Amino acid sequence: MHYLDANATEPLRPEARAAMIKALDIGGNPSSVHATGRAARRVMEDAREALAARFGGEAGDLVFTAGGTEADALAIHGLGRGRRLVIGATEHDAVRAAAPEAAIIPVHANGLIDLGVLDTVLAATGPALVCLMLANNETGTIQPIAEAATLCRAHGALLHVDAVQAAGRMPVSLKGLGAHSLAISSHKLGGPIGAGALLLAPEVTAISPLIRGGGQERGRRGGTPPVATIAGFAAAALAPEGATDLGALRDRAEAAALASGATIIGCDAPRLTNTTCLALPGARAETQVIAMDLAGVMVSAGAACSSGKVAESHVLAAMGLGSLAGQAIRVSLPWNAARASIDAFAEAYARMADRMRAGLVPRAA
């Protein structure tokens, strides 16, 4: 079996696993006064400091959440009050669902946000909260966040950056980007599922919580934090970069797919080195994913809902791909991707493309 669906979740890094086991053996509730509580608290605060430093912020400004979705929701609900919400057309559902009334900024055909429209919209609206993703989950497209931040600041708008897919795959610094908040997720960078964080810029002094509970996280997020999960999160974020050249492997996969008739989506914009979005004209995305799975190669398409049904990608539709939007799969290489997996992918993709071409029989309306 070959796992090429890292953007869904990265395999657990061994450093994260070791840190979690250690933290599980410590036990304790970080809110407790006693020695065990203090030991748990120390694990959590070490993690907080490490993560804040890693992503260009201060430990006191990092709020742990249950994951990326909650971090996005906390930013939108916590910072958006009294502000017009403005989001990119290719944002993740974590942002879209939390901002259903938002103004939507279109993207160019290559997936990059239209900064001219953003400028116009911000000029025409009052105080705004802009939400943009640093790297797209489906195409890997890297948005010009620093430029967007300059625009936002010129118009007095706040900028929240969804860095869930970018963190761990490219340099990410809240301070460097000039944003007001940054959402990250543990399992997208090789940590365990179940933890995320919202990192706030020092100038953001107040955020209203989604969950009040026992006042944990300085009143910004109630509930006992999952200490061991957080320890794994930090350990994964600090894990040294491996020797694997993901970009070279990705290029190899793309070359093979191109030879089988694929179109690479968004390849003329800056992209994450681990991600490629491959359209096979005329072949339904969900059938491609099934065919690849049956061949032992795990990839994905669109966004699977809880039924397992794969909905057509709003990201690709926003890029103006038309029917091709329903014919693309995402291949995302994990941190430990092996050359053998790319070769298996290439072989399975070629076989699938042949069969799909043979099967392209007209169907009754």
Partner 1 sequence: MRVVVAMSGGVDSSTVAGLLHEAGHEVIGVTLQLYDHGAAVGRKGACCAGQDIHDARRVADRLGIAHYVIDAEARFAKAVIADFADSYAAGETPVPCIRCNQTVKFADLTAMAQELGAERLATGHYVRRIDGPNGAELHRAVDPARDQSWFLFATTQTQLDACLFPLGDMQDKRAVRDVAARLGLAVADKPDSQDICFVPSGSYAEVVAKLRPDAMLPGEIVTADGRVVGQHDGIARFTVGQGKRLGNAAMDAGTRQMVLATDPATRRILIGPRGTGTDTVRLRDANWLIPRPEAPLRCAVKLRARDELRPASVEATADGAIVRLDAATMPAPGQACVFYDGDRVLGGGIICRAMS
Q: Which residue numbers are catalytic?
A: 305
For the bound state, the minimum distance from the C-beta of residue 141 to partner 1, rounded and expressed in Å, comes to: 25
| CB-nearer residue toward partner 1: 34 or 363 | 363
Residue 260: strand, helix, or coil: coil
Residues in 33-62 at the binding interface with partner 1, rule: CB under 8 A? none
Residue 170 touching partner 1 (CB under 8 A): no
| CB-nearer residue toward partner 1: 171 or 362 | 362
**Burial of residue 363 (number of CB atoms within 10 Å: 0-12, 13-18, 19+):** exposed
Helix boundaries (H) for 169-263: 174-177, 227-238, 246-259
First to last CA, the chain: 37
For the bound state, the minimum distance from the C-beta of residue 309 to partner 1, rounded and expressed in Å, comes to: 5
Going by C-alpha positions, the residue among 34, 42, 27, 129 that lies closest to residue 88 is: 129
For the bound state, the minimum distance from the C-beta of residue 287 to partner 1, rounded and expressed in Å, comes to: 5
Q: Contact 327/339 with Cβ under 8 angstroms?
A: no
| CB-nearer residue toward partner 1: 240 or 308 | 308
DSSP structure class, residue 11: P
d(CA 349, CA 236): 31
Residue 97 touching partner 1 (CB under 8 A): no
d(CA 293, CA 183): 31
Draw the binding track, 311-330, toward partner 1 (x: CB under 8 A; -: no contact). Answer: x-------------------
Distance of CA 354 to the CA centre of its chain: 33
Residue 206 touching partner 1 (CB under 8 A): no
Residue 363 touching partner 1 (CB under 8 A): yes
Q: Contact 87/214 with Cβ under 8 angstroms?
A: no
Residue 1 touching partner 1 (CB under 8 A): no
Q: Which stretch binds partner 1 (CB under 8 A): 93-101, 208-216, 265-273, 355-363?
A: 355-363
For the bound state, the minimum distance from the C-beta of residue 152 to partner 1, rounded and expressed in Å, comes to: 34
At residue 149, what is the residue type? A
Counting residues that bind partner 1 (by CB under 8 A) gives: 22
For the bound state, the minimum distance from the C-beta of residue 100 to partner 1, rounded and expressed in Å, comes to: 14
Residue 344 touching partner 1 (CB under 8 A): no
Going by C-alpha positions, the residue among 90, 265, 252, 274 that lies closest to residue 166 is: 274
For the bound state, the minimum distance from the C-beta of residue 72 to partner 1, rounded and expressed in Å, comes to: 21
Find all residues with CB under 8 Å of 20, minimum gap 6, and list them.
192, 228, 229, 231, 232, 235
Residues in 243-302 at the binding interface with partner 1, rule: CB under 8 A? 283, 286-287, 290-291, 293-294
Residue 132 touching partner 1 (CB under 8 A): no
Residue 184 touching partner 1 (CB under 8 A): no
| CB-nearer residue toward partner 1: 73 or 283 | 283
The secondary structure of 59-114, three-state, reads HHHEEEECCHHHHHHHHHHHHCCCCEEEEECCCCHHHHCCCCCCEEECECCCCCEC
Residue 100 touching partner 1 (CB under 8 A): no
Q: Which stretch binds partner 1 (CB under 8 A): 110-118, 239-247, 273-281, 357-365?
A: 357-365
Among 305, 320, 322, 347, binds partner 1 (CB under 8 A): 305
DSSP structure class, residue 201: P
Going by C-alpha positions, the residue among 42, 47, 40, 45 that lies closest to residue 16 is: 47
For the bound state, the minimum distance from the C-beta of residue 292 to partner 1, rounded and expressed in Å, comes to: 10
Q: Contact residues for partner 1 (CB under 8 A)?
A: 283, 286-287, 290-291, 293-294, 305-311, 355-356, 358-359, 361, 363-365
